Structure 1
C-alpha cells in the first residue's frame, strides 16, 4: 500500500501556518509524519504544487519516493478551500493507498482489517442537531436559492430526515476500492469547482468549516448510498475505522495502543505539544531540526 501526503501551498502561504505555534513546528511535523509512516509503508508519494515542492523537497529535503506537482491545477481556486488539495490527491490514485495528514503520526502500522477494507478512515464523527457550525443546511439553502442540485447521494441521505449527521474523519483515509475513492473525490471537486455552483458558494464566504462537509460528509453519504444501491457499480462498498468513535480516537490510552497520534485543531498550537515535537526531532535528527527552525524564521519574515 502506498502512503500519500498532499500539500497545497496556497492555503498555507495565505495563513503562514498560523494553526501551529510557529511555522517551524509545521515543518517538523512533516518530517516526523514521513519518517514514521515510511517504516511501515515504504512507497511514499507527495502530491503538491511547484511552490510546495520548492519548500518541502528542495529546501526542507524531505525524501518522498515520488513527487507530483499536479496541485498546480488548483492555482486559481480560492485558498479557503484547503480540503481540495486532499480531494485532488485522492482522485489521482490508481492503486490502494493511505492518505496521511501531515499532523498524523503512525507509530505502528494500521491493523490488517483496516488496511484491507474497501475504504477506511480514522473514526466516525456524529454531529448533533444543534451543531450549527457550517451546517449542511447552510449549503442546502444556498443551493436551493439558486435552483441548484446537490449530489444525489447527499440529497438521498438528507431526505431520510435524520436529526444528526455522520462524517468520516479523514486524518487518515484510503482503502482497496480505489475506483470508489476516485469517484467520491471527483464528486467533491466538482461540487466546489463547477462554475454553475459559484453563486451558491458565494453566499458562504467563510469556507473553513464547509471543507469538512465537501470531504468528510460527502464521503459518508456516498458510502451509505452506494453500499446498498442495486444498480451502483460500487455496491457493497463499506468503511472500517481505526477507532470506533471520536472519543476513542482522542483517548490517550486507546491512541497509544493503536500507535496513532493526530494533532487535530487547537492541539497544534499547544505549547506543550510544540515542545514535545521539538524534543523528538532534536533527539532524532538535530540537523533537520535546525533546518526547520531556519526555514520557519524565513517564512515568518516573508
Structure 2
C-alpha cells in the first residue's frame, strides 16, 4: 500500500472547519430514529407535480422474508471529493467519522458480509485509524486519482461496477436500524425510492440539458438515457440488487458518460459539475430500469412523498441525512450520543483521533 500523506498535519490533522447550513434547510428521512423529538422537514428542494405518480415498485416491508435475500453490504469512499469538500456537508471530520461508525455497525448486524471500496487515504482513515472491520476491502479507487473530484458519485459507480454477487451499497449517511427488513431484499434492482425527475429541467436533474450538450458535440450518450421518456429517477441512498449484469451495465454507462474524453467539452459547458452527479447516477438508473422491458425494482419507500412521512420511515427503521441535514448541529448532537452510548469503544477511538468536536 502506498504511504498516505494527510492534508492537515498535527494532533488534529483530520479536522476541518465547520461549513454549516441554516437549520431550516436540513432534511432527514427517518430523522426521529436518530434524533427523537427533532422537527421534521417536508422536502429538500425537489420539484414535484401535484398529480405525479411514481412508477410502481415492490416495497420491502417489515417481516418480509425472501428465499435468497441479499447478504452483502457495501460502502464506498473516494476520499478526494471529501477532502476538497465537493458535495460534502459534514461539519467536521469528527462527525464524518461518527457517521461511518454508526452506518457500518448498524448494517453489519443485518448483513453477514461487509465490503469497502476505497483508496489509500480512505483505508488509512476507516480501517487503520477507526478500525472498522470490513470483511472485504478493495483499493480500486486509487485509480480515480486523475478524475475531477466534482464528480463525487464516481467512486460509488466504480464500486457498483466491481461487484460480482448480490449486494446493497449503503451511503455513510444512511443508518439501518435494528428491524430494517434486510431479510426481504431480493429485487433485481434495489433502491431507496423512486423520485420525480421531469425532463423539462424544472427540477434539479436537468436531463434535457445534459442530452442536448452531449449531442451537440457528438459525444457519448447512452441509448437508455437518450430514449427515456419517463420522468422518474431512483434515489440511491441505498442501491444494489440481484441482477448483477444489469447493475454493472448501468454503472459502466454512467462511468463512460463522466470519464470519456469525447464528453468533456459538454461537461465544461454544463459546469458546475457538482450539479450533474444525480442525473448520471440516479436518472440514468431510472432510465435503465423503466426505459424498456420490465425490471423488478424493489424499494424501501414506494414514493418520494413516503420518505418524508415519519411514520413510514420509522416503521422501515431507515434514516438518511440528506445533504445539509449533515451540517445541522442538532442532528450531530444526537449522532454523537448514539455512537457514544451504543458503540463506546468506537466513539473513544474517534474522540482520541479528532478531539471531541
Tell me, yes or no, whether TM beats 0.5.
yes
**Aligned-pair distance for 1:144?**
2.5
2:33 maps to 1:33: no
Aligned twin of 1:233: none
Which residue in the other structure is 1:151 paired with? Answer: 222
Aligned to 1:109: 180
Q: Which runs of 5+ in 1 are unaligned?
A: 229-235
SS in 1 for 2:289: helix
- In structure 2, distance between residues paired with 1:190 and 1:286: 43
Provide, for residues 234-260 of structure 1, a one-character-per-residue CA deviation record: whole Å limited to 9, x for no partner.
xx4221111011121132211110011
For 1:231, the equivalent position in structure 2 comes to none
Normalised to the residue count of structure 1, the TM-score between the two structures is: 0.89
Larger relative helix fraction? 1
RMSD over aligned CA atoms reads 2.0
| Cα distance in structure 2, aligned partners of 1:17 and 1:175 | 26
Q: Describe the superposition over 1:131-152 as per-residue Cα deviations: whole angstroms up to 9, x where unpaired.
A: 3435112212211221334110
Higher relative contact order (CA 8 A, sep 6+): 2
The corresponding residue for 2:13 is: none
Post-superposition shift, 1:87? 0.5
Over residues 194-226 of structure 1, what are the superposed CA-to-partner deviations in whole Å (9 max), with x where a residue is unaligned?
111111111122111210111100000011234
Task: Sort the Cα spacing of 1:17 and 1:126 in 2 relative to 1 into closer, same or farther, 3 A.
Answer: closer
For the 8 Å contact 2:220–2:260, the answer to whether it is kept is no
Measured in 1, the distance between the counterparts of 2:343 and 2:296 equals 40
The structure 1 residue matched to 2:325, chosen from 264, 267, 279, is 267
* Cα distance in 2, alignment partners of residues 69 and 126 from structure 1: 34
- Aligned with 1:123: secondary structure? strand
Give 1:112 shift.
4.7
- Conservation of the 8 A alpha-carbon contact between 1:16 and 1:23: no
Residue-pair matches, total: 285
Per-residue deviation at 1:285? 3.0
**Separation in 1, partners of 2:188, 2:141:** 26
Aligned-residue offset at 1:287: 3.8
Give, in angstroms, the shift of residue 59 of structure 1: 1.1
Contact 2:236 2:282 in 1 (8 A): yes
Correspondences of 1:1-302 after superposition (within 5 Å):
1-15=71-85, 19-107=89-177, 108-110=179-181, 112-113=183-184, 115-128=185-198, 129=200, 131-157=202-228, 160=229, 165-226=231-292, 228=293, 236-296=294-354
Change (3 A) 1:285 1:117: closer
Q: 2:68 is matched with which residue?
A: none
Is there any run of 5+ residues in structure 2 with no aligned partner, and where? 1-70
Secondary structure (helix, strand or coil) at the match of 2:164 reads: coil
> Contact 2:86–2:149 (CA<8 Å) still a contact in 1?
no
Measure how far apart 1:42 and its partner are. 2.0
Matches of 2:351 and 2:308 in 1, distance apart? 29
